[in-house]
Structure 1
Amino acid sequence: MPILSNPPRLIVFAGHAGTGKSTLAKKALPLLIEKTGQDFCFLDKDTVYGAFSSHVMQLCTNNPNDRDSPFYLENLRDWEYSGLLDLARENLSLGINVLLVGPFSREIQAGKVFSAEQLGIPRETHIQIAWIDLIEEEAKRRMQRRGDPRDQWKLEHWDQYATRRIDPPNHPALYRFDNLHFDPAQFEALVQELAN
């Protein structure tokens, strides 16, 4: 990947489970490359830490698919995000754009993800967030339909999980996309905003 002369970009596709953020990020990536004329390092939290976290949770709880229990949230969740941001930081420090995919709900709610200083990434990094919206009932249906074992805890403890579904704060760097019925024109507009 070439080193960039412009400030590096950090684009985050965030949202709750089942909203389609990974699918949309992969659909957006070639369009972003085309519109910006720049390459991106693509980092999806589930890809980067999926196998590792499964192994750790198997050792600790005998449930390799647990991604939402109190044990996971207290002992592994923040370390996954820390490692993911370390990878992003290393690329951004080399001038390489990064597209990150993950829920990032805590980081967005706290405002951390909007601040290069708080993320520990180069100060000049251009940060933009695509928040993928989907109503709770449809997100649950899609999770049931996809049959991913990592959703098991959420589905079995839905009332408890649903309390963590935040509404993100308004911020100039955050763009919301309603993924209930995919609208190509609205998606094109989202990608254009992220490419600016």
Structure 2
Amino acid sequence: MTYLFFFCGHAGTGKTTVAKHLAAPLMRATGMPFCLLDKDTLYGPPGAAAIGALTGNPNDRDSPLYLQHLRDPEYRGLIDTARDNLELGVSALVVAPLSREVRERRLIDRAWLGVADDVAIRVVWVHTSEALAHERIAARGHPDDAWKLAHWETYRERRFEPADDIRGDLLMFDSSAPTAADYDALLAQLVDRPRATGAMLPPLPV
């Protein structure tokens, strides 16, 4: 068995931080290698070069042109890379917003993902309050976030909380102020093992 774990959510929720924090404990718990596939790391530089050539602004990740023409190929490449690793026996932690795919229930669709029945799939929805997400985005000062901060009222219309009909697909994780017990519980849910006394993960500042 291999594992395909998605860490999804809106900007500023701490998806990458949570995934990185769990990578080593997951390898210990499963005895298997994992790779971390972060969309910003894989597609940040080439995406910036492409959108910069088209619009003159390499940080324009919220324009209609990017959303209509570059978003989906980047996401498809991310999932295809995860599948290549799974076929080699390497489990994958995939970090990306993937909000549209969550709403459309694509991330539990094995045919759409192209993965075998022996791949265990989990989708973690990392969330926090809008105010805290805004605070984190402003604090990190990334150029890709400039449009979001300048047009927050428009951007916030793209934010959503998963509805009841899809929550059953997800492991909900509140990253506002997670404790060691919160991370231990998520680890147990990911690998379907009982929580062991004294085996809690250390707390993670986010």
What is the TM-score when the length of structure 1 is the normalising length?
0.93
Tell me which of 28, 40, 59 is aligned to 1:46: 40
- Residue 146 of structure 2 corresponds to residue 152 of structure 1: yes
Residues 47-196 of structure 1 correspond to what in structure 2 (within 5 A)?
47-169=41-163, 170-196=166-192
What is the CA distance between 1:139 and its match in structure 2?
Answer: 0.4
Gaps of 5+ in 2: 193-206
CA distance in 2, matches of 1:65, 1:120: 31
Counterpart for residue 3 of structure 1: none
Q: Secondary structure at the match of 1:163?
A: helix
Structure 1 pair 195/173, CA: closer, same or farther in 2 (3 Å)? farther
CA distance in 2, matches of 1:36, 1:171: 25
Per-residue CA deviations over 1:128-165 (Å, capped at 9, x if unaligned) read 01111111111011100110111111111111111111
Residues 4-15 of structure 1 correspond to what in structure 2 (within 5 A)?
7-15=1-9
Choose 78-87 or 154-163, whichever is displaced more: 154-163
What is the TM-score when the length of structure 2 is the normalising length?
0.88
CA distance in 2, matches of 1:140, 1:86: 31
Q: Number of aligned pairs?
A: 190
Given that 1:130 and 1:175 are in contact with CA atoms closer than 8 Å, whether structure 2 keeps it comes out as yes
What is the CA distance between 1:54 and its match in structure 2?
Answer: 0.6
CA distance in 1, matches of 2:106, 2:169: 12
CA distance in 1, matches of 2:63, 2:92: 29
Choose 175-184 or 138-147, whichever is displaced more: 175-184
**Aligned-residue CA RMSD in angstroms?**
1.2
Aligned residue type for 2:59: N
Gaps of 5+ in 1: 1-6
Per-residue CA deviations over 1:37-84 (Å, capped at 9, x if unaligned) read 111111000000010001001101111111112111011111110111
Per-residue CA deviations over 1:101-143 (Å, capped at 9, x if unaligned) read 0101010100000111121222331100111111111101110
